[in-house]
Structure 1
Amino acid sequence: MKRLLPLVGLAGVLFLAVGGVIYAIKGAMEVYVVALLWIGLLSILFYFYVGFASIRDALTGRSAKYGANTAIMIIVFFMILALASYMSTRYKVRWDMTATKRYTLSDQTKKLVKSLKREVTAIAFYRSDERTRQKMQDLLQEISQLSPKFKFRFIDPDKQPGAAAKHGITSYRTTLLKSGNNQQTIGYESEEKFINALLKVTTDEVKTIYFLKGHGENNTSDIQSSGYKGIKEEVEKENRKVKDINLMETGALPDDCALLIISGPKKDLLADELTKLTAYIERGGSILFMIDPGGFPVTTEYLSGYGFTLGNDVIIDKMSQVFGANYLVPVVTQYEEKHPITGEFNIQTFFPLARSVTVERTPEKGSFPLALTGDASWGETNINALYAEEGTVKYDDKTDKKGPLSIAAVKIVEVTKGAEKSESGDKKRYAKLVVVGDSDYVNNTHVNLAGNKDFFLNTVNWLMEEAELISVRKKVAGVTPVILTATQARFIFWIPVVVLPSFVLFAGIAVLTRRRLK
């Protein structure tokens, strides 16, 4: 009987454990679960009742003291593990070591989610065994920690077909975003797709951007290298409409024009067109001028009336060769820290064949040079020599302008026409103007080069008074293979596969031999 008694106690513990695990998994106290728990409890009570004397002797013996110390150490160890697990769950710390920060939310995502003004719900329709489910769950979980206004849940379409049908979902790996009466679906796990959908469900008004045409400007439908098809698509991703407009065919800029972009005209604007631009500015409109090197005396004179000086030059930058470009592609790494467009912008940008654009820096009037070239640059004024078949240029301190040179500038223009009257007088209104000395930096060839796209879109967002969208966007994740030299490959093989296991083996043999010799 005494030999079987420990088995009874062990069986009782086993029955209790099995019953507890089944209850935890199923969440229901069924008959057989209750039976297991009762059998386990009665077995343990029987063990303590019958074997009380032997248990008492064991607990008061010398071995029990050592056992108690061991038990306490084990309990403390598991308590430390539990505390570490809780802390790691409650306060998550991660390091993204990838070059493109593939596993880190973009600045755009963080700013947009933190600025949510209304509730947004994401419903992800994934099978329980879908291998990509975890990727989407990680994305939604990380986003949900940025704002209490964002909630998410998962639905298995196989287990809840009615819920999928209710929301019109007909395929797996589909995530539905809802906010108010707006909803959008995402086809797969993509932060960029998520942000595009989030912009659409949280915006009731879709603003319109007009691109001027009629003077040889960059074509927003052109898929060739010099076209603007790529940047048009990027603008539309941020929930905007893009239209073309010819001022010679319309009486005035339409009321729905949130921003006018004049990009790379090959001819000067006519006087009647400039009059319409002035009327638009007096209404508090926003205009982005991107004027390439060349003449354009009428347009240049017009912009000088607002304080901008467009240099009759081409910027040369010897340092651009360090970045793999030629000297006609100045690189910009210095930005105005006091302006929202570039205040947190620290990515280099490239401007192929650009001219200088300057404005007096007066922060109280909203006038800033935005982007500056390096010290090794200058504004070459001998353009004919530059374009010669075998033309060579060098800095001439008598005629050329020494760098750093401003390549983009911004100014806020105070207007009173149409301002609302108040007791204290006219309410001030402001128009926003940005002038860039290049238009090629966001054509189809260069739009994805370094920070070019972000610089352009941030400028657009500021001009449209949508500061929450000024950010650095998610970069497209590419394939990053691990390429090893022959020496590195041999090192990885010999150290983990041969050396370390051999060290453990020899250590074990040494310990065993020493014990036998004692």
Structure 2
Amino acid sequence: MKGIKNSFKSRKFKMGGYQTLVMVIVIILVIGLNLVINKMNITVDLSSQKMFTLTEDTTNLVSKIKDKVTLYYMCQDGSEVTQIEKVVDNYDGLGSVKVVKKDPVVYPNFSKSYTDEEIQSNDVIVVNETNGKSKLVSQSDMLVEEMNYQTMSQEVSTLDAEGQITAAIQSVTSANSTTLYYTSGHSEQEMDSTFKDVLNKSNIDTKELATESAESVPDDCSILLINGPQYDFTEAEYKVLSSYLKEGGKAMFFLYPTTTEKMTYFYKLLSDYGVNVCDGYIIDSEGSYSSQYPMYLTPTMEDSDLTKDVTDTQKVVIPICKGMTVQSDVRSTLTVENMMSTTDSAYAKTNIKSQTVDKEDDDINGPFSVALSIKDSYAEKTKGTGHATEIVVFGSVSFETSTFLETNQFGNRTVLLNSLSYLSGEETTTLAIPPRSLQQETVQIQESDIIFFTVLLVVLIPLILLGIGLFIWIKRRKN
């Protein structure tokens, strides 16, 4: 009995007791911490694209909205799409926005107060409780499917929940409507899906304008888009478009750099506002995206409100672009601002069919402007229209290519959005959040790296640990 009592007083027992006590305390702390975290619903977005975290643009925009906005998440319990649910939950409590979950089975007639469309599970109805406006955001718009040609089936490839919901919030809280008319009849470049998506998320409606039969530009035209025509306008069409601009119209022009047609009247619309269009397309080895493709320009960002938001990590890329120059003597009411330009070593290839990118005798020396913003206060000062003529012109319709618009990796999207905001009016905030890819990212490892890490992890580290253990064992054995 005495031996048992002494064992409780031994150093070994005390050390064991301390270790047990520490283990119990740690276990209690871990359990308590888990309970607290679960209660507080704390989550961390570890996805590479911050898939489930609202962007700073959305946070800033929504936080400033004064109207009371409700997001009705239409879904049965247990049928939630995780990607959509996590994004929707992030809006709850942001500014004056709240999220309310509604079961469409329990409340089958609820949605009819806001939309005539049939509701699907995981749809979101965005309602401005202040002015009564509402907009439906469907699940199919938030989860974009594409064909997988390996499995020959449709698979979800893109998450666009934030982009669609933020656009809907903009739509129901905006006091102004913007309508963009695009000209047709001259083989203009068709707007691709990404450009249309930018316009849709910016709440800009689009309508076609057949200038050949038009007597004037419609009164509800907020922005006139001339999107890379390959054939010229007639004199009558020029007069219609010129009249619209002189009365304080807003326009966005994209040039088609490789057209072989004479564009007399189209280019006259620009020369009327101090801009000359150069022949051919630009070669700029020092200012190109790739040395192998010196016609793929990465122009210099000039001091302009429309380019100031392009970050140092972004590049604006313009594949195959026309050059422009500003006339030296322009009227006092006219201001032409250079947005982007080439390097001094640039030149324009005047022979479109030339088989070489090397400079030839007829080529035109640079530098050139590749994007310009124009403001003419003549209409504002003399016509009493209350606003000036404003034009943004890009040297190539390739500026709006999907590759350079669909993500914020390139600066094209930022410049385009700023240009749309500028033309829409200072009171309008144009914001279009790009979608996030759900494709699995694969890591490519060189064979030499595989061998190195295999030897390191399988051979070297185990041998080092074995050596350390053997050294400690021998030392203790001697003691």
TM-score (norm 1): 0.65
- Bigger fraction of residues in helix: 1
Matched residue, 2:304: 338
% same residue: 19
Matched residue, 1:207: 178
Matched residue, 2:421: 461
Q: Residues 412 and 211 of structure 1: is their aligned pair in 2 closer, same or farther, counting only changes over 3 Å? A: same
| Residue 148 (structure 1) aligned with residue 95 (structure 2) | yes
Q: Residues 141 and 162 of structure 1: is their aligned pair in 2 closer, same or farther, counting only changes over 3 Å? A: closer
Q: Any idea what the Cα deviations from partners look like across 1:129-169, whole Å, max 9, x if unmatched?
A: 55743x44442344457x412222445x4xx9424653368
C-alpha deviation, 1:477, in angstroms: 4.9
What is the letter of the counterpart of residue 149 of structure 1? S
- The answer to whether the 8 A contact 1:263-1:289 is kept is yes
Distance 2:296 2:307 in 1: 20
C-alpha deviation, 1:303, in angstroms: 2.0
- Bigger fraction of residues in strand: 2
| Aligned 1:37-436 pairs, distance under 5 A | 98=48, 102=51, 105-106=54-55, 108-126=57-75, 129=78, 132-133=81-82, 135-144=83-92, 147-155=94-102, 157=103, 161-163=105-107, 166-167=110-111, 171-180=120-129, 181=132, 182-187=134-139, 188=143, 190-203=161-174, 206-220=177-191, 228=192, 231-293=195-257, 295-319=262-286, 323=290, 326-332=293-299, 334-339=300-305, 341-346=306-311, 347-359=314-326, 367-380=336-349, 383-384=350-351, 386-388=352-354, 390-391=355-356, 393-394=358-359, 400-403=364-367, 405-416=368-379, 428-436=386-394
Distance 1:411 1:269 in 2: 21
Q: Any idea what the Cα deviations from partners look like across 1:13-63, whole Å, max 9, x if unmatched?
A: xxxxxxxxxxxxxxxxxxxxxxxxxxxxxxxxxxxxxxxxxxxxxxxxxx9
C-alpha deviation, 1:103, in angstroms: 5.6
In the alignment, structure 1 segments of 5+ residues that lack a partner are 1-62, 221-227, 421-425
Distance 2:376 2:457 in 1: 67
- The answer to whether the 8 A contact 1:213-1:244 is kept is yes
C-alpha deviation, 1:215, in angstroms: 2.5
Q: Residues 485 and 104 of structure 1: is their aligned pair in 2 closer, same or farther, counting only changes over 3 Å? A: farther
Distance 1:377 1:475 in 2: 36
- The answer to whether the 8 A contact 1:107-1:471 is kept is no
Give the 3-state SS of the residue equivalent to 2:266 in structure 1: helix
C-alpha deviation, 1:280, in angstroms: 1.5
What is the letter of the counterpart of residue 286 of structure 1? K
Q: Residues 416 and 474 of structure 1: is their aligned pair in 2 closer, same or farther, counting only changes over 3 Å? A: same
What is the letter of the counterpart of residue 99 of structure 2? F
Q: Residues 300 and 165 of structure 1: is their aligned pair in 2 closer, same or farther, counting only changes over 3 Å? A: closer
- The answer to whether the 8 A contact 1:175-1:185 is kept is yes
Alignment equivalent of 2:441, drawn from 477, 480, 486: 480
Q: Residues 184 and 492 of structure 1: is their aligned pair in 2 closer, same or farther, counting only changes over 3 Å? A: farther
Distance 1:132 1:502 in 2: 48
Distance 2:176 2:430 in 1: 15
Distance 1:122 1:406 in 2: 45
Count of aligned positions: 424
- The answer to whether the 8 A contact 2:123-2:137 is kept is yes
- The answer to whether the 8 A contact 1:264-1:439 is kept is yes
Q: Any idea what the Cα deviations from partners look like across 1:197-235, whole Å, max 9, x if unmatched?
A: 333333465432111123332245xxxxxxx46533542
Q: Any idea what the Cα deviations from partners look like across 1:250-301, whole Å, max 9, x if unmatched?
A: 2211111111111222333233322222322233220112223464233333
- The answer to whether the 8 A contact 1:379-1:400 is kept is yes
Distance 1:109 1:137 in 2: 17
Q: Any idea what the Cα deviations from partners look like across 1:371-420, whole Å, max 9, x if unmatched?
A: 1224542234xx13x523x4453276x963233x2101011111346989
C-alpha deviation, 1:511, in angstroms: 7.3
Q: Residues 166 and 267 of structure 1: is their aligned pair in 2 closer, same or farther, counting only changes over 3 Å? A: closer
Q: Residues 419 and 299 of structure 1: is their aligned pair in 2 closer, same or farther, counting only changes over 3 Å? A: same
C-alpha deviation, 1:123, in angstroms: 2.8
Q: Any idea what the Cα deviations from partners look like across 1:97-141, whole Å, max 9, x if unmatched?
A: x3x5656544553453244342222233455555743x4444234
What is the letter of the counterpart of residue 234 of structure 2? L
